[in-house]
Each structure stands twice: as C-alpha cells, then as structure tokens.
Chains A and B, each alone.
Chain A
Amino acid sequence: MHGKQIAAVLALGASLVACGSTPTAEKAAESGGGDRGPITFASGKFEAEATQKIVDAWNAAHPDQKVTSVLLPESADEQRRKLIQNAQTKSDSFDVILIDAVWTSEFAANRWADELTGQRFDVTGFLPPSIETGKYRGKLYAMPLFTGTGLLYYRKDLVEQPPRTWDEMKKICAEVLPKQKGMSCYGGQFDKYEGLTVNFAEVINSAGGRFLDDSGRPQLTSDAAKQGARFLADGFKSGLIPKEAITYKEEEGRVAFQEGKLLFYRNWAYMYENASKTDGSSKVNGKFDVAPIPGLTGPGAGTLGGNNLAVSSFSKHKETAKDFIAFVTSAEQEKAFALINSTPLARASLYEDPELIKKYPYLPALKDAILAAKPRPAAVKYGDVTAAIQESAYAIVSGTKPADQALTELQSALGPLLK
C-alpha cells in the first residue's frame, strides 16, 4: 500500500513536470497522467545504426521521455526466447519490442503485447500484406516496420530474361549450365530451421496451392500443394538443387551465389548490398539482378517476412511507448531509416521514392513481390506449427519420405494446432 502511494505521487510529479515542457505531454495528463516517461526499445542488432539515429531524433525532441535502445541477439529464435522470458517474468525492462511478423498472434493471445488503438496508428499508406501481419483476430497489436519477401537473384550475365515459371528456369539451366563448370541451378534455405518453413510455404503457394484456406485450415493435400512439394523433392533428386543446399541458411547460400556456384538463388532483399560489394568479397557484383520468384504456371507467391513494433504489456510508460512507435513508423522516419539500411520498410511510398530507388534498384520488383506475398500460418502456438512444418519439409528435401506422404502427415499434425 505504502509503495503504491509513493509510486502514485512520483507518477503525478512526473506528469506535472511533463506538462510544463511539451504539448504532447498535456494530452498525457488528460488521458490519465503517469503513462509517460523514459522507455527502452528492444531492437535488432542488424539495424543498430539506423535505429540509433531514429532514437537520437526522438530524444532530441522529447528530453523528458528519453528512449534507450537495447540490442537483442541476432538470431530470431534467440530474440523470441529473450522476449518470452521477459514477458513471463512480467518484467518492465522493455517497453517497445521488435517482434517477428509471425509472432503477433502468440504475443497478443498471451497478453504480452497491448492492442494499438487510436488515431496515432493510421494504417493507410502501408503495404496491405504487412499490416495484416500486425493483426490478431482483426485487431491491431503491432505496427509493421520492416517487411519483405523472397526474391530470385539471378546472373544477368548468363541469363537474358529471368524465368517466370519453374519449367522456364529448368530450361534456362539446361542451356546455360553445361558451359559453366561447378555451377548448380537453384538454391534456397533448406536447413532445418525457420528458413525452411519460409521456403516450404513459398513453393506450396507458388504452385497455386494454399497453405491455409480462408478459415485458417491447412490445405496441404491439394494437387497444387503436392506439385509444390514435388518441385523441391524432384529438384534435390535431379540435381537441379545442389545437394549441399540442405545445409544452407541465408548466409551459406549467399556465399555460394557470390562465389558463382549458383545460377539462381532465393533470398531476402538484404543480400543485394552484400552481393554488390566491390571489395572482392563478391565475385558477382554487377553481374546479377533480382526478379520475383518463379512459380508453377506463372510468377510465384513469396512468403511474407518482416518485423513489427509492439508495446510490451508490462511497460510502465505505455503512452510514450505508443507515441514512439507512431514516430518510428512515420513516413519521414521510415525514409531516414531506409537511407541507412537496406532492410525494406513497410510504407508503400518508399517503393516509389526516386532517391531510394536510385540507392536500391530492386525496390519496384520487391513491391510487386510483397503485394503477391502470403503470410506464414498465424498461430498462437507458432513455435509448434513451425516445428511441425520443418519436420515434414526436411523429410521431403532430404528424401527420407515421399512428398505426398509427408504432406498428409503434416496436414494431420497441423489440424489441432491451427484451431
């Protein structure tokens, strides 16, 4: 009781101080007062430089509501563990959290993230698929910051026109590869980890199948789904996909592409910067381009990736946290972000900005790809869902189970998880 009184007095004091300084703080006093104050922003290591610049811009304008950024581990699995541990101990050490696009359901359903309401969160101007990843049961829990999907990197010095279908790709490979020693046709991320879920959902959707139907039930026994899975199984069997691709994560495959071992490689937009380096680390700089990934009968549907910003339910200064999210995702700040970092952002206008297109020529291709992209299955128990998908998909790519059988097993495994 005593502690609470002290906290209330302190909060009142803080809001009074805040009142005197900025106009935004007055609104806080109206909406209940003590929700403003210094906050911490748990962000990714990958974007540290750009993040710090945005944080500095905020801090300069809001000296009484300072934001401190905390860097989370690089790998998505580690980040998730850290954030979940934090939430389960109801710790207030993070206020604004950067969560992967597929975690929204889990964080919302467990009440680890607050719903985002009000005019601050105007979703017009964002790419529609990326906004969907921030929603759980129709309500917005996270604002999209980064977004992105798979792109097909290809050697423009060897390929005139990028393939639109898998058959076209096979034809091009049959023509080009005999003259290229030590080069394979196609690669993606096929090691047993989250990247496999992404690649697997991609071939199912690109074959015209639907991973999930409109009511959220898995649809993995359809003919199209089978054709998608067979593309991978046959690809490994026939050598279209090199057998070491089963050990590829993003980086292993990127290195293989940069060393000229792959004609086509599926990866995220971030790789464009690495592969264009002129310091000798890339043998393919200036020799490659990107296109939307191919599919069975026409351009494929990539899997939607990305990171969203959410307010931790255990934050003590939620109003500041919400303001900060609105600030980071504003058109102005997202552009500033994009100028420093090649990770693609969620606002549609950035993909038509001449200054940015000059810097990242792949933006128009990427925009088309994102608009055609499909999300991974949204699930409260996403950890179980992705584990089940990886289990079956790995059996398919490693050839230990026939594709059709693995799909049937996956269909029944996912049923109870995607209720």
Chain B
Amino acid sequence: MVTLTEERRPVATGPGRRRREVARGQSWLAAAMLSPTLVVLALVVFYPLVAALRESFYTSGETLDADGFVVEGERFSGLANYAGVVSERFLNAAFNTTLFTVVTVLLEVVLGVAMALVMNRAFRGRAVLRASILIPWAVPTAVSGLMWKWIFQADGVANTLLGTEILWTAEGVYAKLAVIVADTWKTAPFVGLLVLAGLQIIPREVYEAARVDGASPRQTFWRITLPLVKPALLVAVLFRLMDALRIFDLPYVLIGPRKHSVETLSGLIWDEATRVHYGPASAYGTALFVYIALIAFVFVKLLGADLLSDVRAREKETADAA
C-alpha cells in the first residue's frame, strides 16, 4: 500500500533524501516523455485561442476597389471589434445566456437529484427505469430540438394538451420558456447520472446509524445524503454551468437564428461568422471565453476549493493510516 501511494505521488510522501532524489529524476524523465504530448496539446488547445484573439483585432474585406472587387488583406483595427461588446444585441445575448444558465441549472439540479434518488432505490425494474431516464441525454441536441419544435409548433402537442394557441416558436417569453423546458428535459438526466454515482459510494452503515439514532427521512437527506453527495453534485453543476453558458444548438433548431428573445452569445458569434464578420465574431468569442473562464474560476474558488481540499485530506488520511 505504501509503495503504491509513493509511486503515484513521489514528491509529497517520500520522506528520505535518497528517495527524493530518485523522485526528482523520475519527474524529469516523466516531463521529457510527456513533452511531445504537451507540444501537441499546446498546438491543439492554445493555437486556436491565440489565432482567434489575433483575429479579433483585425478587419478584412470591407472595401471595394474601382472595378467592384473586394480589396484583399487584413487591416489592424485595434479594439474596434470589441466596441460591439457594449451594443444592445451583445448585452441581450449575454442576458439570455445568463438567464438560461441560471434557470436551467437550478431546475436540472433539483430534478437530477430527484431522479438519482429514485434510481438509487432497490426495486424491481430498476435497470429499465435507469435506462429510460437516460434516454433524453442520449438523444443528440439537434434531434431533441427538432422533436420539441414539433411539440411546440402552432398545431402541435403542447397547444393541444394545454388547450391554447400560443406561438411558442415565434418571439417572446414563450420562446424562452420553450428553450428552458427542452434543455431541462434533455440535461437533467446528466445531473441525475453523476449524482447517482455519488450516492452509490455512500456506505450503507451511515444510513443504518442514522436510523438507529432516530433521524427522520428529511434529516437523513439534508444531514447525510446531500453533504456526502456534494462532491459529485458540484462536478455535475460545474459541467452544466459551462455547457449552458455556450448553449447554441437548441435555441437555433427550436426557435431559429437571430431571434432576440432566445439569442445566446454562441448564437450571436455564429451569426457574425456566417456573415463573414470574422473580426467581431472573434472579439465576441474572446469575450465569451473570458466570461466562461471567470464563472468556472469563481465556482471552483467558492465551492470547488472545498471539494479539492476534501479529496486531499482523505488521501492524506489513507496514506497516514497505511
């Protein structure tokens, strides 16, 4: 057990000097052997980022020469492309993105936890239920977008069931609602799946002890289940946050491009890029990247740090015990 831990984390646990030297040698070797991978990663991960950043400072194809041909070549335009970041359209898109993120993630956490609790119960037909809850998550977003479009069209199932004549797929608050419903339907199972994984590692004895102490089901949930499932839940929320912030395909398929009430930042970037405005598209892309990075950072700082230190503490305990 000791050797195993040491091999995994040589620097942190190796007490002796000789061992530390060996460890250092090993880490150099590891770095050398990993370097090709790092180079590839740098190319694949950072090059597009840097290229987009560069593009965001340039304009191209804006002027015509005397014969009516577009003058080729790019022109440095400073921060001109970023001026759009304070435009009404960008702010509207940023508002929609944030609204969708907050509302859908909240709904998904509630529904996902409920689903996980149901799936975790031992009963006949549990496997079938688990599989069926996961179906929405397995359907590609574009397909589920189309499906919901049929449900929400003027003479669709939604209006028939509700006895209304709401035009869900036009503009307005109903379009927002349609997107929220479809997105929650699709991704709540994802949260459910991750929470279920968290639930399954909670030892049964904890619940038995709670029962012996006379805890009510409500107390058991708030004092035992939720705290113990928190690490898994936080990971799920972080993933969902980042996913929701870049939501594109669902509003695009369900409601359509360039509809103000559901236009998200990704949708705006797509629209600018397809109209060959690569400069503004890159500028907005960079802004979205910064926004997502910021949210992720804050999230990890506020809640995740707790999660990481928890893991560290547990590893330390294991090491000490061994």
Contact = CB atoms under 8 A, between A and B. Distances in A.
A360 B67 CA distance: 42
A246 interface: yes
Contacts of A400: 171
B256 A192 contact: yes
B274 A109 contact: no
Contact of B70 (A81, A109, A191, A192): A109
B258 interface: yes
Interface size class of A (residues with CB under 8 A): 20 to 34
Contacts of A109: 64, 68-70
Given A383-B274, A383-B275, A387-B258, A136 B153 contact: no
A380 interface: yes
For the complex, would chain A's binding face be called helix, strand, loop or mixed by DSSP majority? helix
Contacts of A384: 275
B170 A398 contact: yes
Interface string B175-191: 00000000000000000
A244 interface: yes
A84 B278 CA distance: 13
A244 B70 contact: no
Given A109-B70, A111-B70, A193 B256 contact: yes
A110 interface: yes
B154 A247 contact: yes
A360 to B, nearest CB: 30
B155 A383 contact: no
Given A109-B69, A111-B69, A244 B274 contact: no
B70 A246 contact: no
A110 B61 contact: yes
A200 B107 CA distance: 41
Contacts of B274: 77, 80-81, 383
B85 interface: no
Contacts of B20: none
A2 interface: no
Contacts of A381: 275
A157 B67 CA distance: 55
Contacts of A77: 274
A401 interface: no
A243 interface: yes
Contact of B169 (A108, A193, A247, A383): A247
A243 B154 CA distance: 9
Interface string B58-69: 000100100111
A81 B154 CA distance: 30
Nearest to A382: B275
Interface string A237-265: 00000011011000010000000000000
A137 interface: yes
A320 B84 CA distance: 46
A397 to B, nearest CB: 10
A329 interface: no
A381 B277 CA distance: 10
A246 B259 CA distance: 12
B170 A247 contact: yes
B20 to A, nearest CB: 52
Contacts of B171: 394, 398, 400
Nearest to B149: A247
B68 A137 contact: yes
For the complex, would chain B's binding face be called helix, strand, loop or mixed by DSSP majority? loop
Given A109-B69, A387-B258, A390-B258, A246 B170 contact: yes
B276 interface: yes
Contacts of B276: 84, 383
Contact of A244 (B155, B257, B258, B259): B155
A137 B165 CA distance: 49
Contacts of B80: none
Contacts of A81: 274
B77 to A, nearest CB: 17
Contacts of A390: 258
Given A84-B276, A380-B70, A243 B167 contact: yes
Interface string A82-113: 00100000000000000000000000111100
Contacts of A246: 167, 170
B167 A244 contact: yes
A381 B64 CA distance: 11
Nearest to B152: A247
Interface string A185-202: 000000111000000000
Report which residue of B67, B170, B256, B258 has the largest number of chain A beta carbons within 10 angstroms of its beta carbon.
B170
Interface string A375-411: 0000011011001001100100010100000000000
Nearest to B171: A398
Contacts of A108: 68
Interface in B142-160: 153-155
Interface in B58-106: 61, 64, 67-70, 72
Contacts of B67: 137
Nearest to B259: A192
A387 B170 contact: no
Interface string A59-82: 000000000000000000100110
Nearest to A386: B275
Nearest to B275: A383
Nearest to A81: B274
Contacts of A84: 276
Nearest to A249: B256
A247 B167 contact: yes
Given A77-B274, A111-B69, A247-B154, A192 B258 contact: yes
Nearest to A419: B64
20 contacts: A77-B274, A84-B276, A109-B70, A110-B69, A111-B69, A137-B67, A191-B170, A191-B256, A193-B257, A243-B167, A244-B155, A247-B153, A247-B167, A247-B170, A381-B275, A383-B274, A387-B258, A387-B271, A398-B170, A400-B171
Interface of B: 61, 64, 67-70, 72, 153-155, 165, 167, 169-171, 256-259, 271, 274-276
Given A136-B68, A247-B154, A400-B171, 13 more contacts: A77-B274, A111-B72, A191-B256, A192-B257, A193-B257, A243-B167, A246-B167, A246-B170, A383-B275, A387-B258, A387-B271, A387-B275, A398-B170
